[in-house]
Amino acid sequence: MCNKFQPPAPAPETPHYRGRFAPSPTGALHFGSLIAALASCLDARAHGGEWLVRMEDVDAERNVPGAADEILRTLEAFGFAWDGEVLWQSTRDDAYAAALAELVAAGLAYPCACSRKEIAARTTRPAIDGGLIYPGTCRNGLAPGAAARAWRLRVDQAPLAFVDRLQGEVAQQLEDAVGDFVLRRADGLFAYQLAVVVDDHFQGITDVVRGADLLASTPRQVWLQRCLGYPTPRYAHLPVATNAAGEKWSKQTLAPALECGKAAAELVRALAFLGQPVPFELGRATVAEVWNWAFAHWSFAAVPRQAAISAPAAP
């Protein structure tokens, strides 16, 4: 935990705000990561709340050796101070297994024997996240001689709606949007949707501030929360930064890694992206001065209500 730049303590609200930043160690942090980290941290501090860091390393096949340590070093160099210890999803398999067992016992989750090739042979309907909608082949039991490959959660056709603090009302019919979705994969790894829901509940997260690229998956998480009897956090999905081609800045689109030597300038750039009225002189400030200004002037109301915005030029 780094304690470099802590904000003045405003009067706490009830219930106590708990936010988080949850990167995946699949590469270095980039400008899009910084936007999510900065907005989630400032929103937590503005509410007198806690801000946690969780390393979402549950997908072991995609993890890059050394990336997690580099992410934490970068956050420290950029002046972030988090509360408590970092939670590592790779240590949480027992908790995910217990949640899956609870869903199975309640008749809400079931084994699935379908391969991707078999699913593609039975449906061509695209899912909202780019895959294919599961056609429900194993919903009523495995075919004779079939062996379970994965575990899925049952969904229904009832519209699921929630109000996002930035994007407004979001409604989705899960059966038409994704179908019964995977909780444990064929390779034995637990799926992101289950892990993030179990961990948000375990950590007492009240508010999730993250990129709008995750907006489409949020109804699945709300459904899971309801199935497990968990409270639903408040959500705020920030505009994602896009490159000149209109693609979201990400590791897949070769977003450049954050440079610790340019931390102050990158923080100012991120504040401007988030609609904050940064003064010209802040461009010459130190990291500590940028944080002091941000703590004093953060305005959630100024954050653009868009799903994507072109990233400003790098310093």
Model confidence over 295-306: pLDDT tens digits? 999 999 999 999
User: Confidence band (pLDDT; 50, 70, 90) for 11?
Assistant: very low
Amino acid 17: pLDDT: 97
Q: What is the pLDDT of residues 211-265, one digit of tens each?
A: 999 999 999 999 999 999 999 999 999 999 998 777 787 767 667 899 999 999 9
Given a cut of 80, whether residue 1 has pLDDT beyond it is no
User: Would you call 184 helix, strand, or coil by DSSP?
Assistant: strand
Closest to 272 in 3D by CA, of 8, 39, 30 = 39
Amino acid 8: pLDDT: 44
Q: What are phi and psi of 172, to 5 degrees?
A: -150, 140
Amino acid 12: pLDDT: 41
Given a cut of 90, whether residue 92 has pLDDT beyond it is yes
Q: What are phi and psi of 142, to 5 degrees?
A: -75, 145
84-88, 120-124, 180-184, 238-242: range with lowest mean pLDDT: 120-124
User: Confidence band (pLDDT; 50, 70, 90) for 310?
Assistant: confident
DSSP 298: -
Closest to 159 in 3D by CA, of 219, 249, 92, 100 = 219
Is residue 117 annotated as part of the catalytic site, yes or no?
A: no
Amino acid 312: pLDDT: 78
Residues of 177-210 as b/e, b for ≥16 C-beta within 10 angstroms? bbbbbbbbeeeebbbbbbbbbbbbbebebbbbbb
Q: What is the pLDDT of residues 158-215, one digit of tens each?
A: 999 999 999 999 999 999 999 999 999 999 999 999 999 999 999 999 999 999 999 9
User: Confidence band (pLDDT; 50, 70, 90) for 15?
Assistant: low
Which tokens sit at 277? 């009225």
Amino acid 4: pLDDT: 40
68-72, 114-118, 218-222, 292-296: range with lowest mean pLDDT: 114-118
Catalytic-labelled residue, pool 4, 248, 251, 262: 251
Q: What is the mean pLDDT of residues 44-70?
A: 95
Which tokens sit at 271? 């504040």
